[in-house]
Amino acid sequence: MTSAAERGPERPVAVVDALRAAISEGEFAPNQRLVEADLSEQFGASRAAVRAALLELTSEGLVERMQNRGARVRAISLDEAVEITEVRMVLEGLLAAKAATRLSDDDRTRLRGIGAAMEHAVSAGDLLGYSERNRELHALVREAGEQRTAGRILERLRGQNVRHQFRLAMHPGRPSVSLPQHLAIIDALCAGDPDRAEEAMRAHLRSVVETLPEVGSAPTRVVEPQRW
């Protein structure tokens, strides 16, 4: 483990970012206790910096404070996961429309490469690879949309919803359903058609909303996300 001295001067923002990433990437399970002393050692940070990070992440909805019991990773219910996805539908539709008119040639090349990699992952049965390309596609749309407010909100929502997103990606048959939806998004973006890009993104996330209840009632898979 890297020591605090090896990591360099402590910055409170860096502690928040590191802990946020660890929660968002599934390193901590829902309802898992977050012990300040353990986190201080893990991240090479002072107890004060960890405490400040936990307070910040509580305001973001990633952590919840328990009376006389410290902090834990906040678990997201199925109903809340559906609500989050409905909000994503609006915001990511907006970003897709904006991105369609702002993409560079390099962006279009990246998009087509992501689409090809998604097709290969589905044909190879590579669910983790498909999940990573999915994340990459949505991140590219957020970046290219150049709408910082929507982008910040979506980053928070993604962190809150990471477990439901992963279970959806691992749901049998789901990649075959979502692949043509993602390819439609890519096609509209590369064509520079904002209306079609927005509708394709909304249609995809509408499908997610419809599928989440089915995924929520299924047994939890053994595989868990390590890095998104």
Q: Residue 132's closest CA among 182, 172, 87?
A: 182
Q: Within a 10 A sphere around the Cβ of 113, how many other Cβ atoms?
A: 13
Q: Which CATH number fits domain 4-73: 3.40.50.720, 3.10.20.600, 1.10.10.10, 3.60.15.10?
A: 1.10.10.10
Which of 70-74, 96-100, 220-224 is predicted least confidently? Answer: 220-224
* Annotation: CATH topology of 78-216: Four Helix Bundle (Hemerythrin (Met), subunit A) (1.20.120)
Predicted confidence (pLDDT) per residue in 183-199, tens digit: 999 999 999 999 999 99
Predicted confidence (pLDDT) per residue in 128-142, tens digit: 899 889 989 999 999
How many CA atoms, within 13 angstroms, populate the side-chain half-sphere of residue 73?
A: 22
CA 206 to CA 178: how far, in whole Å?
11
- The position carrying tokens 């109903």 is 79
% pLDDT > 90, the chain: 45
For residue 220, pLDDT beyond 80 = no
The pLDDT value recorded for residue 163 is 66
CA 217 to CA 211: how far, in whole Å?
10
Q: Where are the domains of the chain?
A: 4-73, 78-216
pTM for this predicted structure: 0.74
The pLDDT value recorded for residue 158 is 75
